[in-house]
Amino acid sequence: MRFAALLTALCLIVFDAAASVFDAETFTLDNGMQVAVIENRRAPVVTHMVWYKTGSIDDPAGKSGIAHVLEHMMFKGTPAVPDGEFSKIVARNGGTENAFTSHDYTAYYQNIARDRLELVMFLESDRMKNLRFSQQDFEPELEVVKEERLMRTENNPAGILDERRRAALWGEHPYGRPVIGTKKELPTLTLDDAQRFYREHYTPENAVLVVAGDISAAELKPLAEKYYGAIAPSRTPAVKRLFPAPAPLKSKLEMRHPQAKLYSLRRSYIVPSYLSEGREHTHAYAVLNEILGTYHLGKMYKHFVAGQKTAQSASTGYDGFALDKGTFSFFLTARDGESLSGLERELDRFADPASVTQKDLDKAKKRLVADLEYLNDNPETAANLVGLFYVLGLSVEDLKNWTANIEKVTLADVREAYGDMLASASVTTYLMPREAP
């Protein structure tokens, strides 16, 4: 979950690919594993990450959640590292570690002192090839995931509605399935399912190693060859993913729930991502997100919160980091006494491409270029950013060109992207407290 917050920040900021930190050096091992190194000598620490080019989009039909369950199983041990010792070893050596699964990728990371880097490279490479599978380990870990779903989704009205929103927006597309798995399908997952997923997807040619911090590419390369280069590739031909097209529908979902305390509205559109058809508009969507959604400075806040005073909060979000299409969302929380239907009508009037001005554009572009400076000193941020680009099939060159691409965005580009979005498929959701009997 930590990564979700970081990714949100990165998507909001976009990127001025500052050469000082994000000038990554790259190479590929003989077994096909890609490696990226971001040298940063400010402190004797490193962030070590392994990204796998697989996530819940690769869950087999009827087996939703298996990618996420396998993430949990990756901490259960190998013949060389007993169950539960992975995290303890990292902690005893002064490090922190965790993992995350998304629709498109899965990643594992450790933040640790430079002189302990070789230790975590051994630990991570060991579980890439030698993970132990047993029913005794699998059953309690599956129960942990069920409890996680219970806490994050079933006992969370926003989580319930968000799951329904994704299903309505994406239909049969894998993005319509929850990463954590559905309540119906999680209990059907088996140890064999996890082993099969591990064999098919956790291979060096399907992985990206990213190390950021107090190390150079020349220093890392012999270590990468020693620990990861010895792992044989699967040599199984990659299967091209075919994504079904979402239905071009506009729909609305309303939900009342006893745990809901506020009246909130969300509207999500399907828009191009940085890899999909129409990606020539993606930088315009990044700028539009800055224009509309920035806290206190965005047009949403100025109109709904400071101006009309119909909302307690107002923002937008653009997620363009996806293998298929992305999403652009409006978020509103109504003030006391304001109806969501009235707020939605106000949003319809507000959402006008012609309302974006050259002044709005110029200010937003300046903020986008400046904001990355706050991220430059953090190796973990650099590793996440470069890893995200690489695992999705983008390159360091794409990152380096970010500022130039933002600078090229014109007012006509933003207005065109805005107009295209308003005409695309969308889902509007209302979350409301349950009315008293």
Catalytic (active-site) positions: 71
Cα separation, 201 vs 78, in Å, equals: 18
Cα separation, 318 vs 283, in Å, equals: 10
Cα separation, 112 vs 45, in Å, equals: 6
> Which residues touch 83 (CB under 8 Å, ≥6 apart)?
76, 77, 132, 137
Picking from 194, 311, 218, 303, the residue whose alpha carbon sits closest to that of residue 264 is 311
Using CA of residue 350, residue 351, residue 354, residue 358, what is the dihedral sign?
Answer: positive
* Number of alpha carbons in the 13 Å side-chain half-sphere of residue 324: 16
Q: Are 33 and 208 in contact (CB under 8 A)?
A: yes
Which residue in the block uniquely carries the two structure tokens 């949990």?
72
Which amino acid, one-letter code, is at 220? L
Q: Are 338 and 310 in contact (CB under 8 A)?
A: yes
How many angstroms from the chain centroid is the CA of residue 186?
Answer: 22
CA distances from 260 to 236, 263, 409, 423 (A): 48, 8, 40, 31
Question: What is residue 435's three-state secondary structure?
Answer: coil
Cα separation, 7 vs 177, in Å, equals: 20
Cα separation, 285 vs 325, in Å, equals: 13
* Cβ-based neighbour number of residue 379 at 10 Å: 23
Strand partners, 327: 270, 319
In the DSSP assignment, the letter for residue 76 is S
Cα separation, 235 vs 240, in Å, equals: 15
Which secondary structure element, helix H or strand E, spans residue 385, and what is its range? helix 379-392
